[in-house]
Amino acid sequence: MLNIKDLHVSIEGKKILNGLNLSINKGEVHALMGPNGSGKSTLSYFLSGKDGYEMERGSIDYNGKNLLDLEVDERANEGLFLAFQYPMEIPGVQTSFFLKTAINSKRKHHGLPEIDALEFAKLIKSQAQELDISPDMLRRDLNVNYSGGEKKKQEILQMSLLNPAMSILDETDSGLDIDALRIVSEGVNKLRNKDNSFLVITHYQRLLNYIKPDYVHIIADGKIVKSGDFSLALELEEKGYEEISKTA
């Protein structure tokens, strides 16, 4: 699915990712954990294709394609999805309209006709209900005056509607209370199947109690310093980042 080799990325001449290797297969859930400033968001932005990053070395293969050959919207339409740590507010654009436009962009990319209005209404209603998002919120402007938790739920709603092959969740758990965390995790777990993959970025082990990863990686200073299974997350919780990075 996603194969990152020896990735070196800098921002404005400042080196952020330092020889990062990560390989994610179909059907796998990987967790990426690391202290603030270790490069987690940089990795997710770079994968999604955001401007302003310079790749000095490395390669990224996505489903047999060179990811870097694809524009941001092409990556998305080819099934790459990033749930943002800080979702953007878009005043003047109604949430449900945005969702419909996104769905139709993907359908167009795959040569499908636009989604039927009734079908969309049903789809969005059921998905929103599962995430405890009120119909009223769907009528409001996208992410405007949403609480932190509502913004994160909105990201997960977008993810469920677009049904991506490769989802990256950048600290989706931060700022969520325990109820919201449970709802969001259930949303992710429902999507999991043998054909799609997840990279769950988090600071805390807490989220991983809900979304059980197959692999856990620890990132420090822009590279992965240790990989393991779920027990690594527990070990991290016990010892802290510094200790773990030292023993790496």
Partner 1 sequence: MIKDNILNDTSMENLSIHAKEILLEKNPFKNFKIENYRYAQLHKNIESQSDTVKSPLHKDLTKLTTDISHNTFANIDLKPTIDKWGFSNSDSFFRVSSLVHRTSISINLDNFKETSLFLNISNISKNITIQKKDPQLKTLVLLNYNCDDETPKSLIFNVAENANLEVVHYDVSNKKSFLYFEVKQSNYSNFNFASFQSNNTHIRNEFFSSLAEKCNFELSGLNFNNFGVNDNYSFIQHVKPSSSSREVFKSIVNNGAITNFQGKIYVDSIAQKTDGYQMSRSLLLDNISKANNKPELEIYADDVKCSHGSTVSKIDQEQIFYFNSRGISKEVANLLLQKAFIIETLDIIQTKDIKDFSIKLLDNLLT
Ligand X SMILES: Nc1ncnc2c1ncn2[C@@H]1O[C@H](COP(=O)(O)OP(=O)(O)O)[C@@H](O)[C@H]1O
Sites of contact with Mg ion (CB under 5 A): 40-41, 85
Q: How many residues bind ligand X (CB under 6 A)?
A: 12
| Distance of closest approach, residue 43 Cβ to ligand X, in angstroms | 7
Determine, following the binding rule CB under 6 A, whether residue 194 of this chain makes contact with ligand X: no
Amino acid found at 182: R
* Residue 36 contacts ligand X per CB under 6 A: yes
Q: Which is nearer to partner 1, 101 or 134 (CB)?
A: 101
Judged by CB under 6 A, which of 11, 191, 225, 234 binds ligand X? 11
**Among the listed residues 2, 4, 24, 41, the single contact to ligand X using CB under 6 A:** 41
**CA-CA-CA-CA torsion for 161, 163, 167, 171, nearest 10 degrees?**
20
Binding partner of residue 76 among ligand X, Mg ion, partner 1, none, CB cut-off 5 to 8 Å per kind: partner 1
DSSP letters, 134-188, are -HHHHHSEETTT--HHHHHHHHHHHHHHH--SEEEEESTTTT--HHHHHHHHHHH
Q: Is 147 exposed, middle or buried (0-12, 13-18, 19+ CB in 10 A)?
A: exposed
Least CB distance to partner 1 at residue 142 (A): 9
The residue from 2, 16, 82, 137 that contacts ligand X (CB under 6 A) is: 16
- Minimum distance of Mg ion from residue 36's CB (angstroms): 7
Tokens representing 56?
A: 């000095």
Closest distance to ligand X from the beta carbon of 32 (Å): 9
Contact in structure between 84 and 43 (CB atoms under 8 Å): no
- Interface residues for ligand X in 76-115 (CB under 6 A)? none
Amino acid at the residue 178: I
Alpha helices in the chain (DSSP H): 40-48, 72-77, 95-109, 117-130, 135-139, 148-162, 178-191, 206-210, 230-239, 241-247
Q: Which amino acid is at 219?
A: I
Binding status of residue 42 toward ligand X by CB under 6 A: yes
3-state secondary structure of 204: coil
CB closer to ligand X out of 161 and 176: 176
Smallest gap from Cβ 185 to Mg ion, in A, equals: 19
The site for ligand X (CB under 6 A) is made up of 11-12, 14, 16, 34, 36-42
